[in-house]
Amino acid sequence: MHPRIEDYALIGDEQTVALVGMDGSVDWLCLPRFDSGACFARLLGDEENGHWRIAPKGVKGHCTRRAYRPDTLVLDTEWETAEGAIRVTDLMPQREAAPDVVRIVEGLRGRVTVRSTLRLRFDYGSIVPWMRRVDGHRVAVAGPDAAWLRSEPPVRTWGQDFSTLSEFTVGPGERVAFVLTWHPSHHTRPPLCDPFEALETSVAGWQAWSARCRYRGPYRDAVLRSLITLKALTYAPTGGIAAAATTSLPEELGGVRNWDYRYCWLRDSTLTLNALLAVGYQEEAEAWRDWLLRAVAGDPAELQIMYGLAGERRLPEYEVPWLAGFAGSAPVRIGNGAVKQRQLDVYGEVLDSLSLARRSGLPSKPHMWSLQALLLKFLRTEWHKPDEGLWEVRGGQRHFVHSKVMVWVAADRAVRGMEDDPSLHGDLAGWRALRDEVHAEVCAKGYDPDRNTFTQYYGSRELDAALLLIPRVGFLPPDDPRVIGTVDAVREELGHSGLVRRYSTEGGDGAVVDGLPGDEGAFLACSFWLADALHMTGRTQEARDLFDRLVGLANDVGLLAEEYDPVAGRHLGNFPQAFSHIGLVNTALALFGGAQAP
């Protein structure tokens, strides 16, 4: 049986992450960054593509139980066997010179023989490294990559079938720690990490960070777990937040809707800022705002929908045929070709984010306002054009309603900025005119009066879950009959067992809008948006019921993927997904925000 997406837990050091399965196997790890080549790629292939399993000898299946230490990203996995019980504690300490994966085995009861199987495979599972012994360590080298494995106290290791094996026995209170350290192969070995000290420091550091969370309302554990996950997906050197930890986890098992999400999307920017600022993480919010300013600097015509972790613009997409894909879902893609798409909504996201940052009191930057004025100048001549829309469709450009609404947002935030701050200068009259023109066109061309709903794009009868954001961004008030009609229509036509799909993949207008075969699951972020919209339109109990169900979809350690299949009861898409966790935090704030601590 292939593991399920929700079988995995996350550990990380704010520069990369590892996914640990319920069987005690690290099946995904990219080094040294989120978007680097994976040295463990069993997640998208099989054991020969790299993994590292530690478990009681002879035990094939899942652990007995697992959990994060309270308010941390330190994972405890326990096994009960006939011989006794053990705990494996997994973490990635904050790096100083190089990334480390620390795995500490502790005896709890009886005497248990433990087996470690390490298969390093660099470059997404394609390269078997040369292994040798150096000063009591096992050292793997291949091209630019080197990795060192050591244990404390030392245990015997041996090579077999291009793997490194260990066996040892632990009794109550006895501990054996393994440390795997990566570095560029042309560098000398970095300083050694003390695994037991790293455990204490990591627990204390995460708990201190979590204590800063101001949210004290219902579902606090789920909210805090989501915030910890967002922190784990943050690339600390730049403040960029990766959309997910993985590439090519399928939106449909066996299908081709498999994309690389290890980059930073502008569409997430306002919602991310709102979540961080509202619960007291101003430092992280400012770092994300500053990343955004650096990434979008330059010619407004060249604004991209996504960037690399440091703001890189080139993210070429290619396929890796040696990986069979998760549960046979091929192709596996590296990079993301949607980076070259035209999406007008990102201009609105950028201006909305910068407006939120200013209103929230984040320290201003000298060029912030001039950048916004340049973006508006570009939009005034370009907004009439079609685009690929929020969901990066590959079926051709259209006049997507959400994109036009976000153009309105861009103009509205600039107008409000000047109205609030007389020291700002710009074409106030022109921006007001743009705002009014866009609003009138969307209401005339993007609204179906016969069905009382806005549509996915001009002239279409199809719907889009992004329409649920119309009241949230202020395009129309929540009590407007057109808003209520749109919320009801989206829930009815895009509903999937009480959750919400992004849009129809069946091509009801005579064309498959995203240009792809197959289907996908319910989109979790959109389902949180439905809860928000229900609350805003006066149906708060329905919103709370939906929110409770969505929180319940998280796996046993509180993580959410991109999508969910309500029929099969499985997670789908890349994992864990920042957009889903941002949705959880923001919806909790919307429904229970009054319960925040001062």
Paired sense of beta strands 137-142 and 145-152, if any: antiparallel
Position 467 scores a pLDDT of 98
Q: Is the pLDDT of residue 433 over 60?
A: yes
- Alpha-carbon span 224 to 239, nearest angstrom: 19
Helices 282-296 and 368-382 cross at an angle (nearest 10°) of 50
**Rounded to 10 degrees, what is the CA torsion of 390, 465, 560, 286?**
50
Position 516 scores a pLDDT of 85
Q: Which residues contact 218 (CB under 8 A, 6 or more apart)?
A: 588, 592, 595
Output the six-digit token pair for 125.
């599972």
Question: pLDDT digit string (tens) for 251-277?
Answer: 999 999 999 999 999 988 899 999 999
Q: Is the pLDDT of residue 412 over 90?
A: yes
Helix (H) / strand (E) element for 220: namely helix 220-232
Position 136 scores a pLDDT of 82
Q: Which residues contact 351 (CB under 8 A, 6 or more apart)?
A: 372, 375, 376, 409, 410, 413, 414
Task: Indicate the burial class of 385 (C-beta count within 10 angstroms; 0-12, 13-18, 19 or more).
Answer: exposed
Position 514 scores a pLDDT of 78
Q: What is the mean predicted confidence (pLDDT) over 9-19? A: 98
Nearest to 354 by CA among 439, 417, 263: 417
Q: Are 144 and 338 in contact (CB under 8 A)?
A: no
Q: Is the pLDDT of residue 13 over 60?
A: yes
- Alpha-carbon span 263 to 286, nearest angstrom: 19
Band of pLDDT at residue 507, cut at 50, 70 and 90: low
Output the six-digit token pair for 325.
């894909």
Q: Are 558 and 519 in contact (CB under 8 A)?
A: no
Give the N- to C-terminal CA distance of the chain in Å, as an integer.
Answer: 49
Nearest to 550 by CA among 586, 597, 596, 505: 586
Q: What are phi and psi of 328, to 5 degrees?
A: 75, 20
Task: Indicate the burial class of 563 (C-beta count within 10 angstroms; 0-12, 13-18, 19 or more).
Answer: buried
Question: pLDDT digit string (tens) for 570-592?
Answer: 999 999 999 999 999 999 999 99
Position 380 scores a pLDDT of 94
Q: Are 102 and 26 in contact (CB under 8 A)?
A: no
Which residue did the predictor score with more confidence, 566 or 514?
Answer: 566
Nearest to 557 by CA among 66, 142, 109, 102: 66
Helix (H) / strand (E) element for 527: namely helix 524-536
Position 596 scores a pLDDT of 53
Enter the DSSP assignment of 1. Answer: -
Question: pLDDT digit string (tens) for 317-375?
Answer: 999 999 999 999 999 999 999 999 999 999 999 999 999 999 999 998 888 999 999 99
Band of pLDDT at residue 595, cut at 50, 70 and 90: low
For every residue of 237-254, which 3-state class applies, written as one string? CCCEECCECCECCCCCCC
Question: pLDDT digit string (tens) for 370-396?
Answer: 999 999 999 999 999 999 999 988 888
- Alpha-carbon span 205 to 93, nearest angstrom: 10
Residue type, 449: P
Report CA-CA distances (Å) from 38 to 16, 19, 241, 573: 11, 11, 19, 18
Q: Are 314 and 235 in contact (CB under 8 A)?
A: no
- Residue whose tokens read 């709102």: 274
- Alpha-carbon span 395 to 99, nearest angstrom: 41
Which residue did the predictor score with more confidence, 135 or 199?
Answer: 199
Q: What is the mean predicted confidence (pLDDT) over 229-242? A: 97
Q: Is the pLDDT of residue 34 over 60?
A: yes
Q: Are 346 and 389 in contact (CB under 8 A)?
A: no
Length of the chain: 598
Nearest to 455 by CA among 465, 499, 478: 465
Position 510 scores a pLDDT of 45
Helix (H) / strand (E) element for 131: namely strand 130-134
Q: DSSP letters of 308-369?
A: -TT-------EE-TT---GGG----EES-GGGG---THHHHHHHHHHHHHHHTTPPP-TTHH
Nearest to 5 by CA among 27, 31, 24: 27
Position 485 scores a pLDDT of 98
Position 25 scores a pLDDT of 98
Position 597 scores a pLDDT of 45
What's the chain's average pLDDT? 95
Q: Are 317 and 284 in contact (CB under 8 A)?
A: no
- Alpha-carbon span 536 to 553, nearest angstrom: 23
Question: pLDDT digit string (tens) for 38-49?
Answer: 999 999 999 999
Nearest to 350 by CA among 438, 395, 417: 417
Position 268 scores a pLDDT of 86
Q: What is the mean predicted confidence (pLDDT) over 121-149? A: 95
Report CA-CA distances (Å) from 75 to 13, 148, 181: 13, 22, 19
Question: pLDDT digit string (tens) for 437-448?
Answer: 999 999 999 999
Output the six-digit token pair for 466.
């992004």
Whole-model pTM: value is 0.96
